[in-house]
Structure 1
Amino acid sequence: MTGTMITPMRVFVLIFNAGTDNEGIHTIRVGDRNKILMFESEDDALRFALMLEAQDFPTPKVEAIDAEEIKEFCQSANYDWEIIPENSALIVPPEINVEETDWKPDAQDDSVPEKQESQQEQEFSDSELESIRRRLEGLL
């Protein structure tokens, strides 16, 4: 039997507090929507991360992840996504960052302040987030 095996497309995304309970993925705000940028090139993702750092944003870690996993995450979180082609025009972070993020840049695992919202309003439970993280780590 002959056939071709389709290799999953790997993209690079920016992760804050990688490997902690306070992990977060970088998004940009477009209108009232969040968008995850998926870079085809690790160098382009690193360049974007350095530009964020230059804007006094916490330094993200660049991680390779299967594009389909990110798309599934975006669908479940009601986020948009965009693939940034390798060698495309230089992507620059927005001049203005959100005032308050969904994650705390300096929080330790046990000292993450609780949000003042009910469990119903929270998008993902801790067990769902852990499951997503395990699936994403399994791809690496």
Structure 2
Amino acid sequence: MRVYVLLFNPGTENEGIHTLKLKDEDRNVVLMFESEEDATRYGLLLEAQDFLSPNVEEIESEEVEEFCEEANYDCVIVPEGTLAIPPEAVLEATDWQAEGEVPPAEEEAEPPSDMSGTELDAIRQRLEKLL
């Protein structure tokens, strides 16, 4: 059976799939939509909550089930016509980055808030003169 899932950065090595974490569970759940329209609507609701824009991708349900088994995730079929609504709280940190986003470890360090840019430039110039 063909289903629709929400992917971020599809086709890249930084690809991610949308999952939910249920309140009383410690496992992630992948939603498999029977209808492309329902999946698109859910993606738009995610965007309205300031989440990144997902791509709706058609895939064989068996592939999703295999992925979920390997990743220790659960999967759920969302029947056509079901108005699935994303939870209000969204996960701030993901296992993947938005396309073009720099991972936190690679970001340039912010200067301490008690030093101005001018003070830092002066220190940098003195250090360069030592070299």
Normalising by structure 1, we get a TM-score of 0.69
Partner of 1:44: 38
> Contact conserved, 1:22 with 1:112, CA < 8 A, in 2?
no
- Is 2:90 the counterpart of 1:97? yes
Residue type at the aligned position of 1:27: T
Cα deviation, residue 18, structure 1? 1.1
Equivalent residue letter for 1:12: Y
Name structure 2 gaps, 5 residues minimum.
106-131
The CA distance in 2 between the partners of 1:107 and 1:49, in whole Å, is 20
Change (3 A) 1:113 1:107: farther
* Counterpart code for 2:96: W
Select the structure of larger CA radius of gyration: 2
Q: Percent identity?
A: 57
Cα offsets for 1:2-59 (capped at 9, x unmatched): xxxxxxx000000001121111000011131100000000000000000000011110
- Among candidates 30, 33, 36, match of residue 27 of structure 2: 33
CA RMSD of aligned residues (A): 1.8
> In the alignment, which residue of structure 2 is the partner of 1:24?
16
Number of residue pairs matched by the alignment: 104
Counterparts of 2:99 and 2:65, CA distance in 1? 28
TM-score, normalising length from structure 2?
0.74
Give unmatched runs, 5+ long, in structure 1.
1-8, 115-140
Of 47, 52, 61 in structure 2, the residue corresponding to residue 58 of structure 1 is: 52
Post-superposition CA distance 1:60-98 (Å, at most 9, x none): 00000000010010000000000000012x110010011
